Amino acid sequence: MAMPPANPRIDPLFSAAQIGERNKVLAREIAARHKRDLLVIPVLKGSFIFAADLIRELHLNGLSPQVDFLYLASYHDGTISSGKVDILRDIESDVTGRDVLLLDDILESGRTLQFALDLMKNRGAASVKICVFLDKEVLRAEHIKLEADYYGFKCPDLFVVGYGMDLAQRFRELPFVGHIVEE
């Protein structure tokens, strides 16, 4: 996708109200299965809004997870994964013997989350579960068989922005998820 115009048309896919309701359901599902020492690790940058909303919902469902952040990059400023995952900021927490919940904005190729999952397992996590806001099943890399344990919405094969997700660092602030309409 070429750089969009300064004020492109963005058609909504998921409204702020739909997102809020789905986060409540996700939090109940997660809280029903995770009662002990849960470490939630959002994968930055795209998951930051989803993570904040979901962690508050987890609190309302009786959980008090520890939170740490992992900043990984595979897209950089493009719209297609480079295929290489870089750690830009590592977590500070020891995951040994802990239940870890990785949060990410979108599961597409699976490379970034597979990298994060393997990293946590290799560091001795007791369990690692994956929660993604959007599951775009159609784009898994050929060698990746990863599936999310929890997901907010199934996503059509469109480039999406909003609710933390961006195109070259733009549109993260949108309270909904939409796609840029090329005109």
Backbone angles phi, psi at 134, to 5 degrees: -125, 135
For 30-73, what is each residue's pLDDT tens digit?
Answer: 999 987 789 999 999 999 999 999 999 999 999 999 999 999 98
Spell out the domain ranges in the chain: 30-169
What's the pLDDT at 73?
Answer: 85
Beta bridge partners of 127: 99
Nearest-angstrom CA–CA distance, 150 and 140: 17
The hierarchical CATH code for the domain 30-169 is 3.40.50.2020
For residue 86, pLDDT over 70 is answered with yes
What's the pLDDT at 160?
Answer: 94
Q: Which of 2-16, 67-81, 85-99 has the lowest mean pLDDT?
A: 67-81
Q: What predicted TM-score, i.e. pTM, was given to this entire model?
A: 0.90
For residue 81, pLDDT over 70 is answered with no
* Torsion angle (degrees, nearest 10) of CA 121, 122, 124, 127: 0
For 104-151, what is each residue's pLDDT tens digit?
Answer: 999 988 889 999 999 999 999 999 999 999 999 776 766 778 999 999
Three-state secondary-structure class, residue 48: helix
